[in-house]
Each structure stands twice: as structure tokens, then as C-alpha cells.
Amino acid sequence: MSYFRELPNIDYQSPLSSRASSRDYVEVKNLFRRVKLRDDLKGSITYLQNYYVRDGFRPDQVALDLYGQSDLDWIVIHSAGIVNIRDEWPLTSKEIYDYSLNKYGNDLNQIKYYVTKEVKDSSGNVYLPEGKVVDSDFTIPDPSSPTATLNPVGGVTNYEYEAKINEDKRNITVLRPSYKNIFLLDMRKIMTYSKSSQYVNGNLVRTENTRNTDPN
């Protein structure tokens, strides 16, 4: 993943017992250095665009589709605001079915809750929008016949409920391809160290692990 190549390094005092002296260091990636989408870019229609994740598409495939590079999958993840890829990325159709079956078993097709169906008046105006959660016996006056009532209600099964949650995850916000290079330049500026007592160069700082002491 190219994201880790972009991270700066940090020298830690070697914890190995075989080290020659306390001046032996181990160079590692600074995982505490993180990049995020600039606040002025969040929610901006100029820099961001909507994207529908097709069934079975992984972040690297989305990155290839958008930016021509599969190893820029981390840009997809960051711009979509995803923190936990396991829980926030959509499952495939088979995976969501298997997940639901494992979760509900024989109750997979049991009704979980009820929602309204769309009702229009005689002029074609929406009298009742669809999708409002209601009780199964919910009724309204019939807009075409004031003396009559309607029960415009449909049931949502456990599987439909899980499938809807998964489907919603397919609609993500991503960085527009034309702003990819600007984002990468900003990131590299963030990742570059400023001069300090630990500064070695823009990509490296050196610090001691104070839990270790020199061997006698």
C-alpha cells in the first residue's frame, strides 16, 4: 500500500539485547503521523464527487477506476471518511446474504418493521411519502375518498433491512481525479518534519526509547 511509503520515518533506540551500544537505532515508519482531508475540502462539491461502489469492488479497484492507480486506494478510503474498512465498506451481494443468514437463521425473512408506501392525491401530488417507519395498522384518510381510509404499509424483512444498510454503503464521496496531485502534495507537506531537537532530515527524526538503558 503506497500510503505507508508516504509516511516519514523515526529512529528508535534499538531494544535488541545484542546491540553494540545505546547508539544503535532501528528505523521504523511513524504510524502516529496521519493524513486527513483538509477541512476546507470536506463537503466541497468542487473537490469531491459522489461515487457508487459496484458489487464486489474493492478500494483498490475504485482507485484504479478513478485515478488510474490501484495503490491509491488509501485516497479513496480517506476521502470517503472510512475509519473501519471491515465495517464501513460494502459487502458483496453473496456476503451480505450469508451474513444475514448467519445472523437471523430461520428468521431471515421475518418482518423487522413496517414502512409507508407512497400515496398521491388525484392531482398527482405526494400525499404520503414512502419509507416512513410506522405500525402495521397505520391508516390515513383516502385522498380520493375522504370517507374511506387506506393502510399504505409494507413490511421490511430482516434480510431487506441488512441489504439496505449495505446498499447505502455503496454511495461514497471521493476526491475528484483532477485534484489527486494537489492532495498528494498537501499530504507530503504534512508528512515532512519541521526542525527540532530530534530532527535529522525532513523524512527522519531520532528519539530514544527511555525504557531501555545501556548494558553494563
pLDDT band for position 73 (50/70/90)? very high
Q: What's the pLDDT score for residue 47? A: 87
Q: How far apart are CA 4 and CA 95, in angstroms?
A: 29
Which residues have a Cβ under 8 Å from the Cβ of 62 and sit 6 or more positions away?
A: 51, 53, 73, 76, 174
DSSP state of 170: T
Does the pLDDT value for residue 1 go beyond 60? Answer: no
Which residues have a Cβ under 8 Å from the Cβ of 94 and sit 6 or more positions away?
A: none
Q: What's the pLDDT score for residue 181? A: 87
**Under 8 Å between Cβ of 33 and 191:** yes
pTM of the predicted protein model: 0.72
Q: How far apart are CA 52 and CA 61, in angstroms?
A: 12
Arithmetic mean of pLDDT, 190-204: 63
**Lowest pLDDT segment from 23-27, 34-38, 69-73:** 34-38
Q: What's the pLDDT score for residue 216? A: 44
Mean pLDDT over all residues of the chain? 83
